[in-house]
Structure 1
Amino acid sequence: MNQQKLIGVLINVIENVNEEKNVFDGPQSKSGKLRYVMKLLADAHVVVDENYRGLNLTGRLMNLSVELAKMHGNRAAFDEATGFYSTKSMLKQGFEVYNELIYVKYDQKRLSNLGIHDRCSLIAKSL
């Protein structure tokens, strides 16, 4: 029996500064289900099932995303990475860290001991 299982997802928005519309302004944006999913996952850019980590799935998803951005005529890509592993994966893809917000600097009492999720990094790369 052939079973299919969702093991990874990449959600992104491709915008071009020269266009007034983004790619979600088409017929698919009328779907209430799609709008709901996008709202829920607005901050979850790449998610890979923990049982399938270490197989470079994040890198492969990012490569597809970059190629799609290039096809739309974009010359740069950026993301916010909120953990050690996501930052590491993006650096492997040629992205650079442009700025970091280290949480403990803003609130030592509530934002200490966050482990690998101790910062948010703005990362980008030219396409």
Structure 2
Amino acid sequence: MSAKQVLSSLTFHIHEPITQCLQITETLEFAKNIIKDCLQDQCSFIAFNTETNQIAGICLNTIKRKNQSQKKFKYEEKLQFCCQFFVDVHKNLNAFDELNANTLLHIEFISIDKRARGHRLASRLIEKSIEYAKELEIPGAFAEATHLVSLKCFKQQQFNILDELIYMNYDSKRLANLNDENNDRCYLVARKF
């Protein structure tokens, strides 16, 4: 599977509550950077519909090491704000310390084609990611769940909530529309294997 094929089917930017609220429309460079990192680590998974020959779902993962420096990219202001939000989700605690690990799988993004939803595909992609991480002797995983549906998928795979960041508490002006119970916060979730 090429980066170009993954990019064409990656629709997280359309469905993410925070990107919708901020009206972020240009995510191409961001998506390319994420895909490059995830494909480089070779621990991401794709669900392929053999009847349609289309990608049905993608789970983009990276392998992170404790105290690993974050790559810095410069994006347009709204996208930069969004990226900083996800950095700040980790501000109160360190998943590596919580799981007592030096290496963790980071489940970066899950994107499921709208026609393939409702079949536990996201949960199965997370499960496959965990299985592979165990093969690599990675002791745990973490992710940011931006919606209750995402949180449910992680809970199905025994992830626990480590922390949460309520959008309105982060920036009540810019994120004012993120106030319903399904998408009013971002959860930092993790699991030790």
TM-score normalised according to structure 1 size: 0.71
Cα separation, 2, equivalents of 1:14 and 1:53: 27
Greater Rg by CA: 1
- Aligned partner of 1:93 among 157, 175, 187: 157
CA shift for structure 1 position 14: 2.4
Instruction: Give 3-state SS (helix, strand or coil) of 1:120's partner.
Output: strand
Please tell me whether residue 69 in structure 1 is matched to residue 133 in structure 2: yes
Please tell me whether residue 124 in structure 1 is matched to residue 173 in structure 2: no
**Structure 1, unaligned stretches of length 5 or more?**
21-42
Cα separation, 2, equivalents of 1:70 and 1:16: 15
Q: Say if 1:15 and 1:107 are closer, same or farther in 2 by CA, change over 3 A.
A: closer
Asked if the contact 1:82/1:121 (under 8 Å) is kept, the reply is: yes
Cα separation, 1, equivalents of 2:65 and 2:137: 8
Instruction: Give 3-state SS (helix, strand or coil) of 2:62's partner.
Output: coil
What is the number of residues matched between the two proteins? Answer: 102
**Which stretches of structure 1, 4 residues or more, deviate above 4 A after TM superposition?**
none
CA shift for structure 1 position 92: 1.2
Instruction: Give 3-state SS (helix, strand or coil) of 1:11's partner.
Output: strand
Asked if the contact 2:61/2:108 (under 8 Å) is kept, the reply is: no
The match for 1:37 is none
Cα separation, 2, equivalents of 1:16 and 1:107: 30
The match for 1:8 is 57
RMSD: 2.1
The match for 2:113 is 49
The aligned amino acid for 2:62 is V
Asked if the contact 1:77/1:126 (under 8 Å) is kept, the reply is: yes
Q: How many percent of aligned residue pairs carry the same amino acid?
A: 37
Cα deviation, 1:51-105, whole Å, max 9, x if unaligned, reads 1111000111011100111011111111111112111110111000000010101
Instruction: Give 3-state SS (helix, strand or coil) of 1:94's partner.
Output: coil
Cα separation, 2, equivalents of 1:15 and 1:71: 16
Instruction: Give 3-state SS (helix, strand or coil) of 2:63's partner.
Output: coil
CA shift for structure 1 position 16: 5.4
The aligned amino acid for 2:167 is Y
